[in-house]
Amino acid sequence: MKRTEITFANVVFAMLVVFIHVSSEPITKLDTSSWQYLMVMFPWRLSAFVVQGFVLLSSLKFFLQPEITNYKKYYIRRVKTILIPYVLWNVVYYIYFCDREYFACKISDLINYILDGKLVAPFYFIIIIVQFYIFMPLWQKIYRVLNPWFLIGVSLIITLFVKDFTIPFMNRIPAYLIFWTIGAVIGVNYTTFKKYIEIYSKHIAISFVIILSIQMYMAYNLYVLDNKILYTNQFHIAYCISAIIFVLLIGRHVKSCIIDLLDNITFDIYLSHCLFLFLINEYMETNLVYNVGDFYIIRILFVYISSIIYGLLAYFVKQTIKTT
């Protein structure tokens, strides 16, 4: 059974990922003292909670389910729905880059890109989530048994202080552990969580506005004044948690068949949108469109429309295959 707030959050996070990437051009080219830069920079920076949001949602959705005992079935499903599309899209992007002669085409390089998730920007999230999936039996034992506040406290300490973690298949986990843990705690205690966000909805909204304002102040200092404030990265964790909970709060009351449809194609949008971004960049540069504002509007329209159309086509093809 789909839950409205989770569906809404999943779609919002996917749309914001696209926004972050299509906004990279004006962020690097606009004058940082201009109002146009501020109009792009603030939403761009404030969107930077979506990877953390996806990690939290992935954990939340898993722990909403009864305890899994058939791990073979679980991992086969993850391979089919996550790993195979990920590998195929790595091949697509690699062929694209080789065709443009960005680098020499080597199978060994492609394999390395697949393993480290660095071929295109969004792919590193896949590696993060796969590392969490690898240890799913351990997470089940921990999160369904131990005290949730203890788990959150330990996870926060690890995320804040464990740096340069180099153990293979675990190196991405510390930086995102607090979000995975919060998602698990919410999933295990979902009825209680929904009750509390109903009761304290005003407090959550006010807290989010305050934290968002501080985040904007820090962003202005960092990206406009080039003045980094102490504990910016640490505060960003608080902002991410606040923003994710706020999106879930809003999502309780957003019911739409469009949101439901988009929820089915968010992973396809996530994997494909950078290809459409590269293609429109090529076209615009070939046709000598250098005005940053015009470039930005066209990028937004083309990338959103193309990736959504692709996602819908892929979804309907998969549904047709399932029913035949």
Q: What pLDDT sits at residue 135?
A: 92
The amino acid present at 297, given as its one-letter code, is I
Considering 24-28, 29-33, 140-144, 266-270, the range whose residues carry the highest mean pLDDT is 266-270
Say if residue 2's pLDDT is above 80. no
Q: What pLDDT sits at residue 321?
A: 85
The C-alpha atoms of residue 70 and residue 135 are separated, in whole angstroms, by: 14
Say if residue 167's pLDDT is above 80. no
Q: What pLDDT sits at residue 272?
A: 96
- Given pLDDT bands bounded at 50, 70 and 90, which one contains residue 295? confident
- Given pLDDT bands bounded at 50, 70 and 90, which one contains residue 1? low
> Encoding tokens for residue 273?
């949108």
The amino acid present at 313, given as its one-letter code, is L
- Given pLDDT bands bounded at 50, 70 and 90, which one contains residue 164? low
Q: What pLDDT sits at residue 244?
A: 98
- Given pLDDT bands bounded at 50, 70 and 90, which one contains residue 165? low
pLDDT above 90 coverage of the chain, percent: 77
Calculate mean pLDDT across residues 198-212.
96
> Encoding tokens for residue 9?
């959050």
More confident: 165 or 292: 292
Q: What pLDDT sits at residue 168?
A: 67
Number of H helices, E strands in the chain: 17, 0
Q: What pLDDT sits at residue 303?
A: 97
- Given pLDDT bands bounded at 50, 70 and 90, which one contains residue 230? confident
User: What's the mean per-residue pLDDT of the chain?
Assistant: 92
The C-alpha atoms of residue 10 and residue 3 are separated, in whole angstroms, by: 11
Among 314, 270, 311, smallest CA distance to 125 is for 270
- The DSSP result for 219-268, as a single string, is HHHHHTS--PPTTHHHHHHHHHHHHHHHHHHHHTT---HHHHHHHTTHHH
